């Protein structure tokens, strides 16, 4: 196991990429804090699965769009496990709404979760990591940050581009003891895409060289690699995991 004895916090970990990442890091030896905001039952089911793997886990309810709740979440992780070695900033939201219909509230919430959430989770986790002179932060961005796919998600794309920018700046500021990297997934088969038109998704799949959408577990594998000592000379990097989208 590559991550034996380490502690990971994963935001938005009750489903999708976050859930798959939590289980994968537990399989690699991590104790895991499962952050969620609404679905306590789903979060507790992840905790139960991790416990069955012989690792410790806890579900922590916190809105990553709110700084005070982030600060308390980090305190809860350290109080429970004694430290925090790995932070995966996975939580994110999107409203696929045309410019003319998008509200100020939707825009602000997207900024709060996708941008401020990454910023403040990284800040307060890094404060703990600096004490140990060791740590890994992995930010989940999107290929939308590199090449926008839909004008309906302009705000989402912009916040995900900001995640890449933060990754590079944080990597410089926190070096050499804390590594900061970013994963930019392409199309992944998760709930966030369920409400999009089926014909549109079918056409998008044709543009992927692998001929299909990715699986959450495949993103989780990339996270496990970047979190491990196998990647100890990798920082300030954006790893695209998109199956060869053209």
Tell me the helices (H) and strands (E) count for the chain, helix number first: 8, 7
Retrieve residue 176's tokens: 């050499």
**Contacts by 206-209, CB closer than 8 A, 24 or more apart:** 207/245, 207/246, 208/242, 208/243, 208/244, 208/245, 208/246, 209/243, 209/244, 209/245, 209/246
Active site residue 156: yes
Q: Which of 94, 72, 90 is nearest to 8 (CA)?
A: 90
Residue of 36, 156, 200, 245 marked active site? 156
- For residue 6, the SS3 value is coil
Nearest alpha carbon to residue 114 among 150, 141, 151, 88: 141
Tell me the C-alpha distance between 224 and 236, whole Å.
16
Kindly list the catalytic residues.
Answer: 156
């Amino acid at each position: 196991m590559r991550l034996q004895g380490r502690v990971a916090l994963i935001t938005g970990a009750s489903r999708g990429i976050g859930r798959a990442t939590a289980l994968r890091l537990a399989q690699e030896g991590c104790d895991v804090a499962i952050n969620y905001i609404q679905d306590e039952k789903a979060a507790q089911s992840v905790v139960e699965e991790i416990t069955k793997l012989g690792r410790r886990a806890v579900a922590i309810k916190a809105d990553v769009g709110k700084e005070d709740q982030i600060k308390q979440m980090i305190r809860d992780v350290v109080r429970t496990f004694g430290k925090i070695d790995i932070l995966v900033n996975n939580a994110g939201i999107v409203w696929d709404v045309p410019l003319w219909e998008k509200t100020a509230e939707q825009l602000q919430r997207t900024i709060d979760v996708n941008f401020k959430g990454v910023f403040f989770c990284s800040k307060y986790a890094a404060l703990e990591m600096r004490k140990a002179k060791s740590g890994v932060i992995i930010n989940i961005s999107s290929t939308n940050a590199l090449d926008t796919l839909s004008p309906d998600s302009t705000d989402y794309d912009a916040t995900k581009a900001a995640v890449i920018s933060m990754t590079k700046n944080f990597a410089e500021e926190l070096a050499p003891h804390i590594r900061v990297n970013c994963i930019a997934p392409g199309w992944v088969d998760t709930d966030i895409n369920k409400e999009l038109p089926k014909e549109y998704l079918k056409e998008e799949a044709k543009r992927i060289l692998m001929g299909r959408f990715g699986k959450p577990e495949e993103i989780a594998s990339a996270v496990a690699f970047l979190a491990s000592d196998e990647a100890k000379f990798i920082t300030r990097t954006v790893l695209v995991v998109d199956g060869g989208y053209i």
